[in-house]
């Protein structure tokens, strides 16, 4: 028999709850117990949005069994949200994302908002966990560099009324405001510059094709060839994940082609770093043996010898734009497209004549 005022719990439920250190259950705990998503639990607790009767009953049963008590913040936010913004970047160690975050933080202070920052490392499971955390925190909006694998999670967040802004990438099938650079034109400009210098075997170390920016940049590379009347050498086009080990291996793959390409386009700074590392690993010289150009004007691009020719992405400005957009998204939805700029340095030169 239960104590007065305490409900009877199924066998083992109370013991499990006590074994967990009597920790206050969260929305995520309730979702796991009911076998539903965090967004579904949020809809049941807030009374907003459609939930089937059977699913609602499962959630309510889990709430009773785990003795869930909404926080004081949650009770006061049935029809409101906090003045917090969730920011989910892809790689916290990448200086591009650091500059982007600085822009978001600076503009958020100006807008009287606070920012909760997470890094997914382009991992779909980590991305889902952060989105669930942001939903639990009742954020006003989320700025994210989304993967291509969580369309349902992002759709659910949007249905819950959370303002969403995607940076760098968009997801097909989901209408969400975005802050992006002109990825196609940036890659086109880099490739065209190499073609004008006389290069014909131009390697391309690109991002994943399942990501919109990866597809757009590769298309810019291809279109520059087509407009110059040149065929792309397909063995020199290699998509890569943005991890350093994977990128380095793929750069070596391009440089292992016979004959050696005379130039290489890297579609972001991590891939550019890997390309330069592979060139040095093979004992080659930039630009005498191989010209190298890349997306992103990160600080190290001017510190290496020779300095790297780049197209710029104004990361801090993009972060500011994203913060403004996520706050006003409900009243003035829209997207921001920023043009890139080619900055010519000394890492590219005409191909060396061969005997």
In the block, tokens 């200086």 appear at 95
What CATH number corresponds to the domain at position 57?
Answer: 1.10.260.40
Query: How far is CA 253 from each of CA 250, 287, 291, rounded to the nearest angstrom?
Result: 5, 19, 16
Reported confidence tier of residue 354, pLDDT bands at 50, 70, 90: low
CB distance 135 to 318 below 8 Å: no
Whether residue 330 has pLDDT greater than 60: no
pLDDT at 78 (0 to 100): 44
CB distance 250 to 238 below 8 Å: yes
pLDDT tens digit string along 226-248? 999 999 999 999 999 888 899 99
- In this structure, the answer to whether residues 229 and 285 fall within a common structural domain is yes
Residue 278 lies in a domain: yes
- In this structure, the answer to whether residues 105 and 168 fall within a common structural domain is yes
- In this structure, the answer to whether residues 253 and 159 fall within a common structural domain is no
pLDDT at 159 (0 to 100): 86
Containing structural domain, residue 18: 13-75
180: enclosing H helix or E strand: strand 178-181
Residue 129 lies in a domain: yes
- In this structure, the answer to whether residues 308 and 200 fall within a common structural domain is yes
- In this structure, the answer to whether residues 159 and 261 fall within a common structural domain is no
Most confident of 31-40, 133-142, 149-158, 270-279: 270-279
- In this structure, the answer to whether residues 292 and 206 fall within a common structural domain is yes
- In this structure, the answer to whether residues 322 and 304 fall within a common structural domain is no
Give the integer Cα–Cα distance in Å for 18 and 66.
10
Residue 347 lies in a domain: no
Give the integer Cα–Cα distance in Å for 266 and 275.
7
pLDDT at 355 (0 to 100): 37
Sign of CA dihedral 101, 102, 108, 114: positive
Nearest C-alpha neighbor of 293 from the set 182, 204, 160:
204
**Of the residues 54, 75, 96, which one is the last residue of a structural domain?**
75
pLDDT at 25 (0 to 100): 78
Residue 187 lies in a domain: yes
**What does the H/E/C string look like for 51-66?**
CCHHHHHHHHHHHHHC
Query: How far is CA 346 from each of CA 24, 59, 286, 300, 309, rounded to the nearest angstrom?
Result: 59, 62, 9, 14, 7
Exposure string over 199-233, b if 16+ CB within 10 A, otherwise e: bebbbbbbbeeebbbbbbbbebbbbbbeeeeeebe
- In this structure, the answer to whether residues 136 and 147 fall within a common structural domain is yes
Residue 333 lies in a domain: yes
Residue 352 lies in a domain: no
pLDDT at 231 (0 to 100): 97
What is the rounded average pLDDT of the residues 314-333? Answer: 86
pLDDT at 27 (0 to 100): 82
- Structural domains in the chain (count): 3
Residue 240 lies in a domain: yes
144 vs 1, residue with greater confidence: 144
How many residues can be counted in the chain? Answer: 355
Whether residue 296 has pLDDT greater than 50: yes
pLDDT at 51 (0 to 100): 84
Reported confidence tier of residue 295, pLDDT bands at 50, 70, 90: very high
pLDDT tens digit string along 97-134? 999 999 999 999 999 999 999 999 989 999 999 998 99
Residue 254 zone, left/alpha/beta (φ > 0; ψ -120 to 50; rest): alpha
- In this structure, the answer to whether residues 64 and 93 fall within a common structural domain is no
What is the rounded average pLDDT of the residues 78-83? Answer: 63
pLDDT at 161 (0 to 100): 86
pLDDT at 5 (0 to 100): 37
pLDDT tens digit string along 81-98? 688 999 999 998 899 999
**Cβ neighbours, 10 Å, residue 112:** 8
Reported confidence tier of residue 187, pLDDT bands at 50, 70, 90: very high
Whether residue 267 has pLDDT greater than 50: yes
What CATH number corresponds to the domain at position 196?
Answer: 3.40.50.2300
- In this structure, the answer to whether residues 208 and 298 fall within a common structural domain is yes
Q: Rounded mean pLDDT of the chain?
A: 87
- In this structure, the answer to whether residues 101 and 195 fall within a common structural domain is no
Residue 1 lies in a domain: no
What is the rounded average pLDDT of the residues 51-70? Answer: 84
Q: What are the φ/ψ torsions at residue 23 (nearest 5 degrees)?
A: -70, 140
Give the integer Cα–Cα distance in Å for 173 and 146.
13
Reported confidence tier of residue 334, pLDDT bands at 50, 70, 90: confident
Tokens at residue 153, please?
Answer: 């999670």
Model's pTM, two decimal places?
Answer: 0.77
Tokens at residue 198, please?
Answer: 């006389």
- In this structure, the answer to whether residues 280 and 216 fall within a common structural domain is yes
pLDDT at 228 (0 to 100): 98
Whether residue 71 has pLDDT greater than 70: no
Side-chain-side CA neighbours of residue 102 (13 Å): 10
Give the integer Cα–Cα distance in Å for 322 and 114.
14
CB distance 146 to 211 below 8 Å: no
Reported confidence tier of residue 156, pLDDT bands at 50, 70, 90: confident
What is the rounded average pLDDT of the residues 172-196? Answer: 96
Strand partners, 203: 264
């Amino acid at each position: 028999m239960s104590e007065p005022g305490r409900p009877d719990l199924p066998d083992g439920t109370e013991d499990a709850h006590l074994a967990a250190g009597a920790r206050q259950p969260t929305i995520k705990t309730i979702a796991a117990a009911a076998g539903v998503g965090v967004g579904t639990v949020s809809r049941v607790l807030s009374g907003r949005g459609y939930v089937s009767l059977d699913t609602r009953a499962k959630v309510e049963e889990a709430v009773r069994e785990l003795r869930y008590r909404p926080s004081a913040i949650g009770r006061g936010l049935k029809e409101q949200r906090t003045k917090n913004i969730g920011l989910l970047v892809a790689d916290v160690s990448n200086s591009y994302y650091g500059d982007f975050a600085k822009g978001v933080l600076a503009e958020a202070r100006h807008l009287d908002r606070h920012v909760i920052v997470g890094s997914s490392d382009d991992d779909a499971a980590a991305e889902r966990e952060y989105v669930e955390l942001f939903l639990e925190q009742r954020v006003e909006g989320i700025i994210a560099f989304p993967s291509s694998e969580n369309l349902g999670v992002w759709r659910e967040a949007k249905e819950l009324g959370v303002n969403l802004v995607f940076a760098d990438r968009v997801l097909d099938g989901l209408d969400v405001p975005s802050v992006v650079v002109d990825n196609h034109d940036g890659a086109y400009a880099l490739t065209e510059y190499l073609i004008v210098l006389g290069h014909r075997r131009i390697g391309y170390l690109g991002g994943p094709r399942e990501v919109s920016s990866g597809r757009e940049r590769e298309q810019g590379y291809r279109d520059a060839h087509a407009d110059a009347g040149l065929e792309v050498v397909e063995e020199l086009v290699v998509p890569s994940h943005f991890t350093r080990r994977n990128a380095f291996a793929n750069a070596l793959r391009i440089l292992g082609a016979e004959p050696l390409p005379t130039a290489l386009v890297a579609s972001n700074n991590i891939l550019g770093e890997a390309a330069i590392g592979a060139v040095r690993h093979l004992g080659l010289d930039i630009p005498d043996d191989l010209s190298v150009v890349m997306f992103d004007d990160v600080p190290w691009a001017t510190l290496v010898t020779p300095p790297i020719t780049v197209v710029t992405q104004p990361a801090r400005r993009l972060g500011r734009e994203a913060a403004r957009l996520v706050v006003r998204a409900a009243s003035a939805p829209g997207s921001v497209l920023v043009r890139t700029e080619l900055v010519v340095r000394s890492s590219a030169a005409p191909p060396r004549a061969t005997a």
